[in-house]
Amino acid sequence: MSQTIVGLFDSVADAELAKNTLVTEGFSARDIMVSAHSDDIARATGTTVDEREGGFMRGVENFFENLFGASDADSAGHYSEAVRRGGAVVTVNVDDDARVDTVRSALAELGAVNVEERVSAWRQSGYTGYEKNARPYTADQVAQERARVIPVVKEDLEVGKRQVDLGVVRVVSRVVEQPVSERVSLREEHATIERRPVDRPASQADIAGLRDETITIQETAEKAVVSKTARVVEEVVVGKTASTETRQVSDTVRNTVVDVQRAGTAGGAATTDHAADYKRDYQARYGAIGGNYSDYEPAYRYGASIASDARYQGRTWSAIETSARRDWEAQNRGTNWDRFKAAVQYGWERATSRI
């Protein structure tokens, strides 16, 4: 069954390189088409694209609408927008199902752009979808689009302190009454009068005692008297104490790592994205121990990026490993170098054509 594989590139030069590479690998040039920006076509054909009937972008719209069909209008619009902004699209018709993956891998290694990621970047600057009959970018706009700025973001961990309300402690004093009972003995003194009948002769003493006389007897009684005395039996001292505790605060910070792949000069082969090679090496080296390729991909790409670093030019791996490790650990704090070292070395060796 015939299938069409589509790859988006940033320039017609990249797209033509991909086409020529596929032809070299045995694909027919008749099955490969490059759709590029009007200025690129004008330079290649010597014609004025805007003078064509219906306009350049109308033809681009029709091409992708026919390619994707009415059921996938969004994809047709995104690829049309890519060409409008100066991109170039390579379409490859493949009759042999066994060669579909070969074409996909080749386009990826030759620098094909992830369309969804590119559309996401456009949306950040206001893109809401392809507008029919939109005019192509001017040469200046295309140059600005191709010189996209990649912000390099680094997060720093800032640890501060804030006061947290732990509640209020209130010390309240109040008077309470408590019944107290004590036993006390009270003494009373009363006069006693006793009359006794007597019948005897009066003596001289009795006769001498005949006179007026008053005898006074004091009666007394004790009453309970209650008095209270106050004594301080305890003191409650109200204040605050402060304590200091040292805690270890841990988090993760992110850095933007930009990998640069440089095209080769006239004196050497072009450096390309070796994603397929990285995946094959991952399967052979790490596949049996588990994990995901996405964990190791940054290590492969870091190794490829340092291949273009002037500090490491013309040196062996053993000579650069210490510096490469220091830079890696600075960019990827908390990672285990020994776990990723082999992937970094492979990326470096692949980019420097040592393997």
pLDDT for the residue numbered 70: 77
Within this chain, do residues 129 and 12 fall inside the same structural domain, yes or no? yes
Q: Residue 54: what pLDDT?
A: 44
Q: What pLDDT sits at residue 47?
A: 46
Q: Are residues 2 and 122 in the same domain?
A: yes
In a domain, 181, yes or no: no
- Mean pLDDT of the region 76-80: 85
Which of the four pLDDT bands, split at 50, 70 and 90, describes residue 346?
A: very high
As for how many domains the chain has, the answer is: 2
Q: Please indicate whether residue 49 or residue 161 has the higher confidence score (pLDDT).
A: 161
Evaluate whether residue 160 is within a structural domain. Answer: no
Yes or no: say if 79 and 6 are a contact pair by the CB < 8 Å rule: yes
Separation of alpha carbons 75 and 251, rounded Å: 39
**204 domain residue, yes or no:** no
- What phi and psi values does residue 159 have, to the nearest 5 degrees? -110, 120
Of 130, 149, 168, the residue that ends a domain is 149
Question: What pLDDT is recorded for position 51?
Answer: 39
Residue 94 has pLDDT above 90, yes or no: no
Q: Which two tokens stand for residue 69?
A: 């069909």
Residue 25's pLDDT is 86
Residues with Cβ < 8 Å from 108, sequence gap 6 or more? 7, 273, 275, 276
Would you say 60 and 132 are in contact if contact means Cβ atoms under 8 Å apart? no
Nearest to 88 by CA among 147, 149, 22, 19: 19
The answer as to whether 206 is a domain residue is no
Query: Which pLDDT score is estimated for 268?
Result: 35
Question: Residue 53's pLDDT band (boundaries 50, 70, 90)?
Answer: very low
Domain boundary pick from 149, 183, 209 = 149
Cα separation, 43 vs 135, in Å, equals 18
Q: How far apart are the C-alpha atoms of 84 and 56, rounded to whole Å?
A: 9
Backbone angles phi, psi at 303, to 5 degrees: -60, -40
Which of 149, 184, 217 is the C-terminal boundary of a domain? 149
- Residue with the larger pLDDT of the pair 48 and 223: 223
Q: Give whole-number Cα distances, 67 to 60, 118, 133, in Å.
A: 11, 20, 18
254-279 pLDDT per residue, tens: 766 655 544 443 333 334 568 888 98
**Cα dihedral sign for 24, 30, 32, 35?**
positive
Note whether residue 124 is domain-resident: yes
Average pLDDT, integer, range 193-221? 84
Is 80 exceeded by the pLDDT of residue 134? no
| Angle formed at CA 130 by CA 125 and CA 133, multiple of 5 degrees | 125
24's CB contacts (< 8 A; 6+ apart) are: none
CB within 8 Å of 104: residues ≥ 6 apart: 5
* Residues 222-254 pLDDT 10s: 888 888 888 888 888 887 888 888 888 777 777
The answer to whether residue 9 sits within a structural domain is: yes
Higher pLDDT, 47 or 86: 86
- Greater pLDDT, 333 or 56: 333
The pLDDT tens digits for 290-321 are 778 888 899 999 999 988 888 888 889 888 89
Range of the domain at 75: 1-149
Residue 245, in any domain of the structure: no
How far is Cα 32 from Cα 9, in angstroms, rounded to an integer?
14
pTM of the model: 0.40
How many C-beta atoms lie closer than 10 Å to residue 308's C-beta? Answer: 15
Is 332 within the bounds of a domain?
Answer: yes
Q: Write down the residue that tokens 């019944």 correspond to.
A: 179
User: What's the CA gap between 119 and 82, in Å, rounded?
Assistant: 9
Q: Strands of 3-9's sheet, edge to edge?
A: 3-9, 88-94, 32-35
